[in-house]
């Protein structure tokens, strides 16, 4: 990776930090939401499901635009916090959470649907409280779903471009991530460096997906 | 004696459950009825797994649910052991960890049942370190029962625990259930639609029909009640007796049972003297005789009886309900009834030609 400059390395670091934060936030917010989606009989379920899936089909610029407006000094979030989150790392995390939401929620939801309520009821009958039952029974059985959610959420955030550019700009060390760095290199005809980062992203993404598919096929869910 | 009281009145999409349950907190109570009659739903309501508006449930002096004051203890706060139709073992734990899951969550002062005891009763000693995936269906269900018992429950709810098993596995598990009840003295509610299981296990029956309790009472009274016999699809049952083994007559290959001071002979049993055996008598194997006990006959089983009730079944046959210290039904021809001039209150002798044992019932 001799072609990588210090700026490129700092972009890699921003990307990794961003993806990690996003996945952590999504697991905390997404677990109850995915559980609700998996088990509710509510009529608003399809509406919520559609909203969660939106980022898959929406142009990132559309999502980025609205998040930018919301986070700006005159947007609802900006006014509430009395500061502008646009073009900051925090703003980028908020944007990424929306952008990568379906990639975390959907694997969790299908995992919870597959687990069903039966093990939960069994755990209750064995004196486990709801929280206890979730931690000791449901999440281990849904482990594959969690692995898929973490890996896909991480990889998808690493690869985002449009939303980042709209909400974060490309401030070195703060909001410049790998994908925007490629764009910057190409803009100034530094093809060798653009190629190095692109090749890294390509290999990374392929390996991540490969890991997910191998895991889904073979991962045993034994803990003790 | 303390009772379990429950009232549920709730409309589900498929049917209307409307029950008022009052059963003693002892022995095995069978909840019996055809598929779709609401047996499982009733059990789930008793466990608090279905939240019923206006529901009420009281176990002895403890009120577990009273929707009038918004009270409904969640299942994990009720001292209930629940065994589902499927074993529902946790796949990420081995057998031992499954057994200990509930045990570890019960405060040590509340534990009355220990691992060795359960492992011994259920015969699962050799399975403890196995993965769940390596167990047969019968073994899994035994572990599920053990896991429930190790929470030291005050009430055991069994939802057709044998339904998914073949006859051989059923026959293997039934004695375990009877034994755990005898040794641990936990009241059991046992849901089943299999008459043979109930005849072997239950002390008492609650008959459910389309979400309502059609009848409830002691097993032998329910199955010999001339009024309800038809409902059970077991109209051939004449008596269910829990008789004590009095002696073995090995030279004749017979075991002598004692019931209410009277003797019954069955083929030689490998049950030790003093133990109690449940035997069944088919009503068609009972004849009514007017005469003295010392009259010579090849029939060994002769009991003194009083006629309680007579009911016509069809053109040619009648059921005669006899009292031998327990109810006994004899199915005889109407012609015999007329010739003998049988009347309620009359003292007669019941000749019993054959006594069925548990194993024969299942086949």
Q: Do domains B3-233 and B238-362 have the same CATH topology?
A: no
Q: Which residues 82-141 of A have a C-beta within 8 angstroms of B?
A: 118-119, 121-130, 132-133, 136-137, 140-141
Q: A137 to chain B: which residues are within 8 Å by CB?
A: 90
Does the pLDDT at position B38 exceed 80? yes
Element (H, E) at B322: strand B317-323
Q: What is the DSSP string of A8-57?
A: HHHHHHHHHHHHHHHHHHHHHHHHHHHHHHHH---TTHHHHHHHHHHHHH
User: Which pair of tokens denotes residue B228?
Assistant: 């309800």
Q: Looking at this predicted complex, what is its ipTM?
A: 0.82
- C-alpha B248/C-alpha B359 separation (Å) is 19
B105 closest CB neighbour out of A128, A143, A222: A128
Q: Is B54 left (phi over 0), alpha (psi -120 to 50) or beta?
A: left
Backbone angles phi, psi at B23, to 5 degrees: -130, 145
pLDDT at res. A3 = 56
Element (H, E) at B83: strand B80-83
pLDDT tens readout for residues B267-309: 888 888 988 888 888 888 899 998 776 777 888 888 899 999 9
pLDDT at res. B229 = 75
| Cβ neighbourhood burial of B178 (10 Å; 0-12, 13-18, 19+) | middle
Report the DSSP beta bridge partners of residue B350.
Answer: B288, B303
Residues in chain A: 224
Using the Cβ of A9 and the Cβ atoms of chain B, whether some distance falls under 8 Å is answered with no
Q: A141 to chain B: which residues are within 8 Å by CB?
A: 90-92
Strand order in the sheet with B327-333: B286-289, B347-352, B301-312, B317-323, B327-333
Domains observed in chain A: 6-218 (1.10.3720.10)
Does the pLDDT at position B35 exceed 70? yes
Distance (Å) from the C-alpha of residue B117 to the closest C-alpha of chain A?
18
Q: Domain limits of chain B?
A: 3-233, 238-362
Q: What is the DSSP string of B246-314?
A: EEEETTTTEEEEEETTEEEEEE--S--TT-EEEEEEEGGGEEEE-S-TTS--S--EEEEEEEEEEEE-S
Q: What is the DSSP string of B172-183?
A: HHHHHHHHHHHH
- The percentage of chain B sitting over the pLDDT mark of 70, rounded to a whole number, equals 96
CATH architecture of the domain with range B3-233: 3-Layer(aba) Sandwich (3.40)
pLDDT at res. B109 = 92
The answer to whether the Cβ–Cβ distance between A224 and B82 falls below 8 Å is: no
The alpha carbon of residue A114 and the mean position of all alpha carbons in its chain are separated, in whole angstroms, by 22
Does the pLDDT at position B179 exceed 80? no
Q: What's the mean pLDDT in B115-123? A: 87
Using the Cβ of B148 and the Cβ atoms of chain A, whether some distance falls under 8 Å is answered with yes
pLDDT tens readout for residues B74-106: 999 999 999 999 999 999 999 999 999 999 999
Residues (pLDDT < 50) of chain A are 1, 222-224
Using the Cβ of B64 and the Cβ atoms of chain A, whether some distance falls under 8 Å is answered with no
pLDDT tens readout for residues B39-66: 999 999 999 999 888 899 999 999 999 9
B92 closest CB neighbour out of A124, A132, A223: A223
CATH architecture of the domain with range B238-362: Beta Barrel (2.40)
Q: A130 to chain B: which residues are within 8 Å by CB?
A: 74, 76
Residues B143, B146, B150, B152, Cα dihedral to 10° = 150
Distance (Å) from the C-alpha of residue A193 to the closest C-alpha of chain B?
47
Q: Are A212 and A152 spatial neighbours (Cβ–Cβ below 8 Å)?
A: yes
Element (H, E) at B44: helix B39-47
pLDDT at res. B1 = 61
pLDDT at res. A219 = 53
pLDDT tens readout for residues B225-267: 887 777 766 567 888 888 899 999 999 989 999 988 888 998 8
Cα end-to-end span (Å), chain A: 41
- C-alpha B320/C-alpha B13 separation (Å) is 43
- C-alpha B23/C-alpha A80 separation (Å) is 61
- C-alpha B131/C-alpha B134 separation (Å) is 5
């Amino acid at each position: 990776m001799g072609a990588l400059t210090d700026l490129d390395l700092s972009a890699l670091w921003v990307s990794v930090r961003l993806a990690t934060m996003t996945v952590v936030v999504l697991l905390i917010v997404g677990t109850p939401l995915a559980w609700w989606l998996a088990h509710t009989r509510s009529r608003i379920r399809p509406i919520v499901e559609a909203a969660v899936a939106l980022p898959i089909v929406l142009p990132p610029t559309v999502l980025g635009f609205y998040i930018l407006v919301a986070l700006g000094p005159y947007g609802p979030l900006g006014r509430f916090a009395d500061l502008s989150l646009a073009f900051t790392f925090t703003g980028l995390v908020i944007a990424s959470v929306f952008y990568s939401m379906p990639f975390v929620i959907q694997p969790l939801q299908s995992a919870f649907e597959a687990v069903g309520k039966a093990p939960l009821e069994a755990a209750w009958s064995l004196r486990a409280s709801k929280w206890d039952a979730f931690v000791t029974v449901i999440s281990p059985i849904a482990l594959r779903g969690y692995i898929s959610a973490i890996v896909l959420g991480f990889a998808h955030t690493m690869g985002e471009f449009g939303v980042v550019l709209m909400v974060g700009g490309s401030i070195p060390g703060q909001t410049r991530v790998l994908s925007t760095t490629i764009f910057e290199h190409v803009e100034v005809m530094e093809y060798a460096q653009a190629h190095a980062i692109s090749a890294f992203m390509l290999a990374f993404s392929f390996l991540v997906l490969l890991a997910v598919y191998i895991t889904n096929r073979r991962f045993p869910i034994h803990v003790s | 004696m303390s009772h379990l009281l429950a009232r549920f009145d709730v409309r589900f999409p498929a049917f209307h459950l409307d029950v008022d349950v009052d059963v003693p907190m002892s022995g095995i109570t069978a909840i019996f009825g055809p598929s779709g009659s609401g047996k499982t739903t009733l059990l789930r309501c008793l466990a608090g797994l279905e939240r019923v508006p206006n529901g009420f449930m009281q176990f002895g002096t403890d009120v577990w649910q009273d929707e009038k004051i918004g009270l409904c203890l969640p299942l994990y706060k009720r001292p209930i052991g629940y065994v589902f139709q499927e074993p529902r073992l946790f796949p990420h734990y081995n057998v031992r960890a499954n057994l200990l899951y509930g045990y570890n969550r019960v405060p040590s002062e509340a534990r009355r049942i220990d691992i060795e005891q359960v492992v011994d009763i259920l015969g699962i000693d050799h399975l403890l370190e196995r993965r769940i995936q390596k167990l047969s269906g019968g073994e899994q269900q035994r572990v599920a029962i053990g896991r429930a018992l190790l929470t030291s429950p005050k009430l055991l709810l069994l939802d057709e625990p044998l339904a998914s098993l073949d006859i051989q596995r059923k026959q293997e598990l039934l004695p375990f259930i009877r034994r755990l009840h005898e040794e641990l003295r936990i009241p059991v509610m046992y849901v089943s639609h299999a008459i043979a299981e109930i005849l072997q296990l239950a002390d008492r029956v609650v008959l459910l029909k389309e979400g309502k309790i059609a009848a409830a009472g002691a097993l032998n009274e329910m199955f010999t009640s001339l009024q309800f016999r038809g409902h059970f699809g077991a109209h051939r049952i004449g008596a269910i007796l829990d008789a004590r083994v009095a002696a073995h007559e090995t030279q004749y290959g017979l075991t002598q049972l004692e019931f209410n001071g009277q003797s019954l002979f069955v083929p030689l049993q490998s049950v030790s003297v003093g133990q109690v055996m449940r035997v069944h008598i088919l009503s068609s194997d009972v004849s009514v005789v007017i005469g003295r006990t010392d009259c010579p006959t090849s029939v060994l089983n002769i009991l003194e009886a009083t006629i309680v009730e007579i009911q016509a079944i069809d053109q040619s046959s009648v059921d005669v309900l006899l009292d031998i210290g327990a109810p006994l039904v004899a199915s005889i021809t109407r012609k015999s009834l007329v010739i003998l001039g049988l009347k309620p209150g009359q003292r007669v002798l019941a000749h019993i030609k054959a006594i069925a044992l548990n194993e024969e019932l299942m086949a």
